[in-house]
A and B are shown apart, each in its own frame.
Chain A
């Protein structure tokens, strides 16, 4: 059974609310008492992006009385393919403001608490204090571990989902006797080893699927109804349209929820996830880099520079510099196509894969090789504004 959240005090429903929630009220699993619980509930949506959009929209429509929104970001065009709480007219605006307006339009009975800030170790506990349930819709490992630890330390359930390409994972962590996120994944992958949605892409409807699963789990926790995903990990494969469920257990040696915890307060999660070293070097691997303007000067000046594109063929079709295409994964088998006497500039979308390619080529004895800093996106920003960005 899910963990019920007792409302602080019974909340009455107005006639307008009775009408609005009538399809809930006629279900015995919800009824007037359940709807009052939903109205009394305080739910925090961490992130108002792909997952946060359907999550917040459905929780608002369902009548969650207090919805918190945390996000520091602004809406951009690449968000609109999946972040359905935001519209074309919102591009450039604060995501929290944009989302709050849509929630108000859907259900004026919902109180929205806005946190236009990045969730950090300094503010997480204070923000979480205002809420009963936390829903994690963030997009990076550092914030995932921060949300988990703050939930465990504050004793609040973490309704979790994550997505990549066609696949998603969902669970409810840190509630009652169930495992937490660290029980499942004690450590994050090294920076750059698992691509983000920015690098690897994501099917636009996938966060819809997973965000709605999160919303469902939130409502069930509020109602204390049904079997929650506590102790279960749901694996969604949208391409095969297959839902698998696996059992997961609490780790007695978990550093945050185990018998002898070593993490008793929030830590530096960017350091924990190795983000700082990645940002400071501009790439995962420290290799020689060339700035877009310098490459442009060399090419215009007729220098003998061989441009190596290590992206995938479908990315090459979107935009390219006319370089020789060898996807990073094929480089070891196709390295013979390269002339080690020539200067080689490798590039990808943002500079991570090309840094790996340069490190590989250096290890194979290539000496005149560098990575285009910031990839083809930086080229579009600094050299060719007509280049499509993706």
Chain B
């Protein structure tokens, strides 16, 4: 489909602070242990007071682009649902920080949790048609959740960046297919501070239908099946859904677990599939195949079939995702509220 175009670099950033699900539950009088178990999330990342989705994106981008001439990056896409500005792109800040400006294009994308993979598809198409030499897609969020809402127990912060090009490809993109419908499972209205969601409705007609829809469409178009893949990456709104959809599609748990970061950092929204894919690229061996399927509420999924090349050994990020996650400092609910600016007076 893309004639030798694929992933040429990747990088992730995970903020250092953590809050345990049990600590959030303590404040709201809930049973933290059972909540943590039902979500399969132990703790989540907390971005610092001076961090936002734009700074997270820059950090991930710098890792992904550390070995390339930044002036050759012809496009930068930042996908996020927590941009620091309602109007003014983060992508130009990222491009300026990398040194890619001015002869390039940049855009911020929004599609709930799948805006990062939408960026990968755009960059792939632009490289494949010869419009640019390489393009960068980033998924980055300081995910919001209304205090005491179930989202507050799952929404974390983090960013993943994927560089796409034709030279020194570490994972060839065999194909990508999407599955999209108008499904109102999760939204945030203009000027509203926190998103709303449709509770249990976010499961079957939303997440499972679209993730399975995109994966099955890809299987059909490529003539592949679950057994043909060594790893499966799915969007991770919690620690249960990706395991369940993996099972439905015929994947053994062992193929899904290498990308399961949400139990340790929470749902990083646009960053989630990107970081999970990067965690798999940290360990995947030449010749192995990866299925990656994002999900964004509203709703849609992008599925990718990737084939890892020998170049992977020269381009792994210096600190693997699960090592980055180990560097942490716990905060209590009061400090979490301060750093995430949830106090109205701040």
A and B bind: no
